[in-house]
Amino acid sequence: MKHATATALDQLERLLERLRKLNGLSERKRGIFYHRSKALLHFHEDPSGLYADIRLAGDDFERFKLDDANQWEALFKAAAKAVA
């Protein structure tokens, strides 16, 4: 699964805008977010759709499918909790 291209990230721009407003998250490169000095969240694409990988506990990432608004909201809530 490859990292999301600029075109794929364009589809997620409203979600990216919300994530950019979270205190504690910094976007070092478009679609790649850090919390403090550690990578927290990034996006992937493949023929089955768009995905986000987010580090919720320890060093492992959890994958979120991003097909609809409910899935976007679940990712946003997970990100907000991770930086709280």
Per-residue model confidence as pLDDT tens for the chain (84 residues): 899 999 999 999 999 999 999 999 999 999 999 999 999 999 999 999 999 999 998 888 999 999 999 999 999 999 999 999
Pairing of strands 49-57, 2-3: unpaired
Task: Give the CA dihedral 34, 73, 71, 22, nearest 10 degrees.
Answer: -10
Counted domains in the chain: 1
pTM for the model: 0.92
**What pLDDT does 1 receive?**
82
**What pLDDT does 43 receive?**
98
Can you give the residue range of the structural domain that contains 51?
A: 2-83
**What pLDDT does 57 receive?**
82
